[in-house]
């Protein structure tokens, strides 16, 4: 993430990265019987940049996506409204899940 931020700051006035990791499990039940279980894990990386008072953004599912910065630059070329620089804040981790839910297994959900 630090490398991505460094690349973005080389070509912009300010930059912000947001990473979200999602894990979900879907269970299909028909007439009280489990029909199927599907599980998915995904990561989303969002990059927002401000350059010449214009806001650009790019989204990827891979931290090593080399096109993310260039796509954010392309997206700002047609912006007409002014953007404010991002506040300079230290990197922090936001936990948005429940420990109880984190410990649940698929077997617990189906039972």
CA distance 65 to 52: 24
> What DSSP character marks residue 81?
S
Task: Work out the angle at residue 47's Cα, subtended by the Cα atoms of residues 41 and 51, and round it to the nearest 5 degrees.
Answer: 175
CA distance 52 to 77: 10
In which band, very low, low, confident or very high, does the pLDDT at 62 lie, cut at 50, 70 and 90?
confident
In which band, very low, low, confident or very high, does the pLDDT at 59 lie, cut at 50, 70 and 90?
very high
pTM for the model stands at: 0.67
Q: Could you give the dihedral angle defined by the CA atoms of residues 74, 79, 85 and 91, in that order, rounded to the nearest 10 degrees? A: -50
Q: Could you give the dihedral angle defined by the CA atoms of residues 91, 66, 22 and 46, in that order, rounded to the nearest 10 degrees? A: 50
> What DSSP character marks residue 52?
T
At residue 85, the pLDDT reads 73
- pLDDT at residue 55 tops 90: yes
Q: What's the rounded mean pLDDT across residues 41-46?
A: 92
């Amino acid at each position: 993430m630090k490398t991505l931020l460094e690349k973005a700051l080389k070509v912009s006035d300010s930059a912000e990265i947001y990473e979200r990791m999602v894990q979900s499990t879907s269970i299909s039940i028909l007439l009280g019987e489990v029909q199927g279980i599907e599980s998915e894990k995904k990561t989303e990386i969002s990059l927002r940049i401000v350059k010449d008072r214009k806001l650009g953004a790019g989204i990827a599912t891979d931290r090593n996506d080399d096109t993310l910065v260039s796509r954010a630059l392309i997206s700002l070329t047609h912006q007409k409204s002014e953007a404010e620089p991002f506040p300079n804040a230290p990197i922090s981790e936001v936990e948005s899940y429940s420990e109880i839910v984190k410990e649940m297994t698929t077997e617990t959900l189906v039972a």
